[in-house]
A and B are shown apart, each in its own frame.
Chain A
Amino acid sequence: GQEFQFGPCRVEGVVLQELWEAFWAVKDIVQAKDNITSVRLLRKEILQNVSDVESCYLIRALLKFYLNTIFKGYLGKAADSRIRKSFSTLANNFFVIASKLQPSQENDMFSISESARRRFLLFQRAFKQLDIQSAQTKAFGEVDILLTWMEKFYQ
């Protein structure tokens, strides 16, 4: 038990409960800073009905975006050490997961990877429609949506 199985991509060494606890510790603080309540970045159509095979492509794209665009910008501004502590747990575990995901690059997987890419682009477009600071704050506040979806692939 205690591993992720995103279709063919298996990831050990991450305790999902540690991620939840890290997010719960700062959920109220982070989500209170999100003033744009009418917008949701990780909309239902992005995460709904994702096949196992497709999940590896999608989670990899999402985690890399979180690591390269959201966390990198957000942490520099987070003075509160509780946020930094939680952030560190999430970032380092996302880093572990992302580094272990090796989706197939075979040609016959092109349509599946394309489907995952379209889903990710929906998220990225929504992110880019906001100013960067609001978008980073909202995306960090939506980590619970991401973890809830990831939990389906956690055994």
Chain B
Amino acid sequence: DGVAILPAPQNLSVHSTNMKHLLMWSPVVVPGEIIHYFVEYQGEYESLYMSHIWIPSSWGSPTEDPECDITDDITATVPYNLRVRASLGSQTSAWSTLQHPFNRNSTILTPPVMEVTKDGFHLVIKLEDLGPQFEFLVAYWRREPGAKEHVKVVRSRGIPVHLETMEPGVPYCVKVQTLVKAIGRHSPFSQVECVRVQGETLPL
């Protein structure tokens, strides 16, 4: 086993948005050389009961970039320990471990991108595909005094969904938020978009 003379990677951090998790660190630089990195993880169960067990990351063992997509490794809503080391030929660095375990329930949830359209008299919405963990809560209403807000939970992704048959001349408005059951959280609502039959989309 090569003597660890390579410096260990520093400044590990996880950037997580919409349940996509990216582990990043400062690169180890040896002029003229290509450094490979090896990423490993362990969930709460391993860290409690078998702390010697670490599992190679699906996409980061090895990698040449100072980052690794760990989304496929984080498959439970528990704290995960993550570590990285550098390698150059037979030389390997010490492990650097993420200072605070990462839990996917800390992911940043952003309002979803939506496309509100009219299909004849039909109010139709199309939502971006964020993956199987996501559901969408769609709120829609007629923009007139005393109008009732309707709510629909949509699971289909990237497919147009019919919301309502519209009455001509009345603006209909829509807003959406994502729901992630695996972590029991939802995103903020999107901007409101309104359409009217025989009228143009009316940004608020």
Contacts and interface: CB of A to CB of B under 8 A. Distances in A.
Interface stretch (B44-52, B109-117, B169-177, B196-204): B44-52
Interface of chain A, helix or strand or loop or mixed?
helix
A91 B45 contact: yes
Name, among B41, B78, B105, B132, the residue most crowded by chain A CB atoms within 10 Å (CB to CB). B78
Contact of B43 (A1, A3, A88): A88
B76 A93 contact: yes
A95 interface: yes
B71 to A, nearest CB: 12
B55 A81 contact: yes
Contacts of B53: 75-76, 84
Contacts of A96: 76-78
Contact of A2 (B42, B78, B181): B181
A14 interface: yes
Contacts of A81: 55-56
A130 to B, nearest CB: 22
Given A3-B181, A91-B46, A92-B45, A17 B76 contact: no
A147 interface: no
Interface string A11-51: 01111011000100000000000000000000000000000
A150 interface: no
A134 interface: no
Given A84-B55, A85-B55, A15 B182 contact: yes
Contact of B75 (A1, A92, A94): A92
A3 to B, nearest CB: 7
A87 to B, nearest CB: 9
Contact of A92 (B43, B58, B133, B183): B43
Contacts of A91: 43, 45-46
B194 to A, nearest CB: 30
B32 interface: no
B77 A13 contact: yes
A85 B39 CA distance: 13
| Residue in A67, A81, A92 whose Cβ sees the most chain B Cβ within 10 Å | A92
B162 to A, nearest CB: 21
Contacts of A88: 41-43, 45-46, 55, 75-76
B78 A17 contact: no
Contacts of A76: 50, 53
A54 to B, nearest CB: 26
Which 9 residue pairs are nearest across A and B when measured between Cβ atoms?
A: A92-B76, A92-B43, A2-B181, A89-B75, A91-B45, A13-B77, A95-B45, A93-B76, A84-B55
